[in-house]
Structure 1
Amino acid sequence: MGGIRSGTPLARFCPPSPFFRDNRLHVRRLPFVNACMRAFPGLLLLASGVLDAQGAVTFEAAYIQLDTSSDRPGGEYKNGRLIIHNHSLRSLVGAAYHVPNVNIQGPGWLDDVRFDISAKTEPAVTEEASRVMLQTLLSEQLKLEIHREEKVESAYSMVLAGGALKLHEAPSDAEKITNCSVMKRGELTCSSVSLESFAKFLGSFVGDGSAVRDGTGFKGQYEIHLTWTEGPSGPTLFEALQKQLGLKLQGRKLQIEYIVVDHVERVPLDR
């Protein structure tokens, strides 16, 4: 995976979704709609860290504090400092473990108690390493304990529709930062997005609550623009995927991963 450079603002990854009360991926500032910032992967935290005494990858310096404001959730990564503002624990867990919010189970207050994070970072790091650092931070300061479960469920596998993939790969010199936005209903734009992440994102739009997982096997980063009609006229999401992107959704029984929160503190520990 690629990294980012210091000075990159965080963006909003925001599909309107009936399933998520709060999950926002922020990578680059973009206009957004009121229903914005309910996307599957949560925060995409981009930071660099060090090893602590136990060998865990950590931020150079970081703290979590409660946020009782009514501010809009947001964040920024600039000049080696990561700021996350007013996000729920569900959102943070989703970011740390790269799962949709709907696949996180735990206490009823996961959506209600909100947090700020401030962390000192290095200029570049992979997304995978950033998730490990967030896991460490949540474990240390909120005593987060989780376990994973897999359930066989009716879901969709996103596969090739029979012809060639109708997507452009992201430029080789582009920042490898997933950047997706929903500017209006039925229009989605993503840049530098993997098909694994794109498939999970589509689960917010299929309409029946079913998960979507990538079945193409392609590992690149892509530029995607997709338009469809949610009403009775015009192409449906399923039709648009096939015609515009060369992809289709096949109903299947799939193993879907869940993150179960076994223990977590509502108030961060004293630093």
Structure 2
Amino acid sequence: MLLALALSIVVPSSLGQSGSSAPAVNAAGRLPVYDVVAIKPNKSGSGSLDVEEHIDIYNAKNITVKSLLEEAYGVREDLISGVPGPIGSAHFDVMAKIVDPDASAIRKLTGRQRGSMLLPILIERFQLKAHTETRILPVFELVVISNGPKFKHSADQKGQDTGTSIQGSDRGVQLTAHGINMTSLASSLEGQVHRPVIDKTGLAGNYDVAMKWSSDTVPSSEANAGPSIFTALQEQLGLKLKAAKGPVETLVVDHVEMPSEN
């Protein structure tokens, strides 16, 4: 990925110039704001990350700046550049609270909007300045193979995605989705193949899909003996991930500092 970034074609976003905050900052101004924020260094050396989020609370233990940026901007960590080494390797405990929350309004927020609520924290406490850039990078195109697709339309075509679950264990990984469209399915696959996935299926409407594949993070065993995600897509769904290059939105950090402590 680093090599791909070095060789990529860069198109600066008209919405985010160097030294300015990315577009999501504007959206954050209309969102609930955390009134009380506490940030402390986490020097435990633990590799685990614990994030707890409720109506009025965001509590992250052992989180990195890149993980915060990923939540705030909806951009995967491998598409974020410009974070200096010492800050990039540091871990923090971030505790934020809304003093008088409007519970009904907060429940209506999407996951993307909840993530954007972290932007004021990054700007005020980490002195963040960043912008987006569209780069031509390796991607996967999700396409239908000759004898596909091997799944059916959802019974409810009026509703949106009613639930997507990806669960992993020593027996492999399973994806189950009801009422999902192909754009959302492509997005769900991105975290599994670590590359942007673009829907090129040409399939409209909502579908019910289910597939299983072997985990690449669990040592190979008889319990985990199954097809790769690429093979599973073809055999179980009649779809294929085709390697290509395409425009991908990345986040470039122009300035970030160690946060001020309480």
More helix by share: 2
Q: Determine which structure has more spread, i.e. the larger CA radius of gyration.
A: 2
Given the alignment, which residue of 62, 72, 82 partners 2:58? 82
Letter in 2 for 1:187: V
**Partners of 1:69 and 1:167 in 2: CA distance:** 48
TM-score (norm 2): 0.65
Q: Determine if contact 2:56/2:97 at 8 Å carries over to the other structure.
A: yes
**Partners of 1:111 and 1:117 in 2: CA distance:** 15
TM-score (norm 1): 0.63
**Partners of 2:138 and 2:173 in 1: CA distance:** 26
Matched, 1:73 2:65: no
Per-residue CA shift, 1:152-188, capped at 9, x if unaligned? 1232112233533627869999997765332237424
Given the alignment, which residue of 237, 249, 253 partners 1:257? 249
Structure 1 pair 158–138 and aligned structure 2 pair: CA distance change class (3 A)? same
Given the alignment, which residue of 53, 56, 67 partners 1:91? 67
Helix, strand or coil at the partner of 1:68: coil
What percent of counterpart residues are identical? 28
Map 1:147-226 → 2, pairs under 5 A: 147-162=131-146, 163-164=148-149, 166=151, 179-184=165-170, 186-189=172-175, 194-204=184-194, 211-216=196-201, 224-226=210-212
Given the alignment, which residue of 236, 247, 255 partners 2:239? 247
2:96 is matched with: 119
RMSD (Å), alpha carbons: 3.9
How much has 1:226 moved relative to structure 2?
A: 2.1
How much has 1:247 moved relative to structure 2?
A: 1.9
Structure 1 pair 75–153 and aligned structure 2 pair: CA distance change class (3 A)? closer
Could you list the runs of 5+ residues in structure 1 that have no partner in the other structure?
1-17, 20-50, 205-209
Helix, strand or coil at the partner of 1:117: strand
Q: Determine if contact 1:199/1:213 at 8 Å carries over to the other structure.
A: no
Between stretches 240-249 and 175-184, larger displacement belongs to 175-184
Helix, strand or coil at the partner of 1:57: coil
Letter in 1 for 2:166: C
Q: Determine if contact 1:64/1:141 at 8 Å carries over to the other structure.
A: no
**Partners of 1:170 and 1:141 in 2: CA distance:** 48
Residue-pair matches, total: 215
Letter in 1 for 2:124: E
Per-residue CA shift, 1:71-124, capped at 9, x if unaligned? 421022246322111111111111111122111112123541112222235351
How much has 1:130 moved relative to structure 2?
A: 1.3
Structure 1 pair 94–60 and aligned structure 2 pair: CA distance change class (3 A)? closer
Matched, 1:237 2:229: yes
Structure 1 pair 221–135 and aligned structure 2 pair: CA distance change class (3 A)? farther
Q: Determine if contact 1:90/1:110 at 8 Å carries over to the other structure.
A: no
